[in-house]
Amino acid sequence: MERDDLKLAEAEGEVPPAATPEATAAPPWVSATVPAVFVVLWSSAFIAAVIGTDAAPPLLLTFSRFAIAGVLLAVVALVSKSPWPKGKLLLHVVVTGLLMQAVQFGAFYTAIGAGLPGGVVALIQGFNPVLIALMAGFFVGEEITRQQWLGFAIGGAGVALAVAGALDFSTSAIVLSFVGLLGLSAGTVYQKRFTQGADVRSSTAVHFLASAPVMLVMTLTLEDPKVTDWGAFGGSLAWIVLINSVGTFLLLNFMLKKQAASRVGTLFFLTPAVTALLAWLVIGQTLNLSAIIGLVLGGAGVLLAARK
């Protein structure tokens, strides 16, 4: 998701102008409540996806999200006069976008459309830092500590329990979720290696705009792209685009101004549990005991593996 672009940009000192310190400090209660609001809004993306895929085919929802968000972010990049990637950098940005957007969300939304609970999908997506650390260890030579290996083991056990608890939904949906995870992790590593100099706003717009045609071709060839409930589809799409693609972007920048990136990153470990809670409250989606235990173990394991 967009969080990887922002975290890398913050680490390199390339946070957009909106993330520069303001003259007037925000009230303490704002800084205290923003993290909780952020986690709820980020987790809500999975609930919106469940509602959206009930009203329309998943790849059609994915295409619509990319097309609208891409245009909106392109306008933001043009208005803010952000530099656009060119030449080889543009090619690398496109590859990153296809991995992090087309592969990730195309697979995740299809898995959700097949009935896989949002909390399980969120847990699998949350395993991204673990997979990235493993990739860095095997392909880049970065050292993996004993604490990280322990975290991998606990997190892996949690994912296994959560997945086992969801096997009655669809095995293919579970496979697709891991395909989405692989796209996100590979895209993040590729981005860190080849697109460090790209502006966050313009490069994210390219991610969406490059992925939209791919999703259009896929929905036209693999699905019957018809909307059965325009109200639910429009509402979920508006929420995904405006709240999850723009609102959380602004909140994340705000937190990166106030706190270290590593501390902000720990908020994502709460996403699976909050997603499961929202799914129960909003759409009545429940999990069995093994899946719930898996969510707890998975979050604890990923948190342990990500700690320095």
Q: Centre a 10 Å sphere on the Cβ of residue 18 and count the other Cβ atoms it contains.
A: 15
Q: What is the model's pLDDT at position 200?
A: 83
Backbone angles phi, psi at 20, to 5 degrees: -75, 150
Q: Which residue has the higher pLDDT, 40 or 22?
A: 40
Taking 60 as the threshold, does the pLDDT of residue 65 lie above it?
A: yes
Tokens of 191: 């981005």
SS3 assignment, position 306: helix
Residues 287-302 as b/e (b if ≥16 CB within 10 A, e otherwise) read beebbbbbbebbbebb
Q: Note the pLDDT tens digit of each residue in 129-149.
A: 777 777 766 665 666 778 777
Of the given ranges (74-83, 204-213, 296-305), which has the lowest mean pLDDT? 296-305
Listed in sequence order, the residues at least 6 apart from 199 whose beta carbon sits closer than 8 Å to its beta carbon are: 14, 16, 77, 82, 83, 84, 85
Residues in the chain: 308
Taking 80 as the threshold, does the pLDDT of residue 169 lie above it?
A: no
- Asked if 256 and 296 count as a contact pair (C-beta separation under 8 A), the reply is no
Q: What is the model's pLDDT at position 98?
A: 97
- pTM > 0.75: yes
- Asked if 225 and 219 count as a contact pair (C-beta separation under 8 A), the reply is yes
- Asked if 93 and 195 count as a contact pair (C-beta separation under 8 A), the reply is yes
Residue range 243-270: mean pLDDT, rounded: 66
Taking 90 as the threshold, does the pLDDT of residue 290 lie above it?
A: no
The pLDDT confidence band at residue 172, using thresholds 50, 70 and 90, is: confident
Residues 130-133: contacts with CB within 8 Å, 24+ apart? 130/155, 130/156, 130/301, 130/302, 130/305, 130/306, 131/181, 131/182, 131/185, 132/185, 132/188, 132/189, 133/305, 133/306
Of the given ranges (141-145, 159-163, 286-290), which has the lowest mean pLDDT? 141-145
